[in-house]
Structure 1
Amino acid sequence: MEEKRRSRRLDLTGEIIIKEVGGPDNGETVDIKITDASSVGVGFITDKQLTIGDNYEAHLAIWTKEVLHVFIKIVRATVNEDGYHYGGLFIGMPEDIKQRIDVYEIIEDEKAKLGEN
């Protein structure tokens, strides 16, 4: 299958807590499992049903244990045995956060070249 993504997807282990923007009482906090991420978006699994097209506030725990505050627009959804699998695009992503993700991608590429992955 031909790769159509604009950026290479990065496998991250971690969790994000997501809140629906404008929801009642700032929404419900939900734990999710990140399946892949890039500087343009994130894929994740959760047991909560979300709405395609809606925007959500999220706190991403990245590889450095740093927490990034981002906004995600849900663009795709599937259901599998693990729960709901979503794909979302970052909206209004600050340049410094994009650069952190880009740096991680460079480090992972170099590790792969050296056979460390």
Structure 2
Amino acid sequence: MDQFSPDAEEGLFAAVARKASPFSALAWALGPDAVVRLPGWFGGFLLDAEQVRAQLAAAEVTLALTGTRRRDVGDRIHVWMTGLGNEPDHDADELLGGPLRVFRHAVGTGQGVAGHARWY
């Protein structure tokens, strides 16, 4: 991450956790019907600017949650990150908002987006 310019903050998002996969937590919390609307396969994708514009609406529907649904998804993320990982303070709101922020930034600046999930 040190290779990215400090002014690129809006276009970057990283979720890191000890002993748990943030993307897996997000997928479990959202459920299969929502996850299939996200690009790629388990957090891995590479989209050019046109593909990002085409995928933004699905990302909005999937991640821009409000009210009870957002609270329930946040609670499920917390359960996963605490039960399977060692991250009881993981920011569920950022896990929902970060990828969507990157998509919106890419559309606004005409850029592509890449996603990568690594588990080790």
Q: Which has the higher contact order (CA 8 A, sep 6+)?
A: 2
TM-score normalized by the length of structure 1: 0.28
Bigger strand fraction? 1
Q: Per residue, is there more helix in 1 or in 2?
A: 2
Given the two structures, how large is their TM-score scaled by the length of structure 2?
0.28
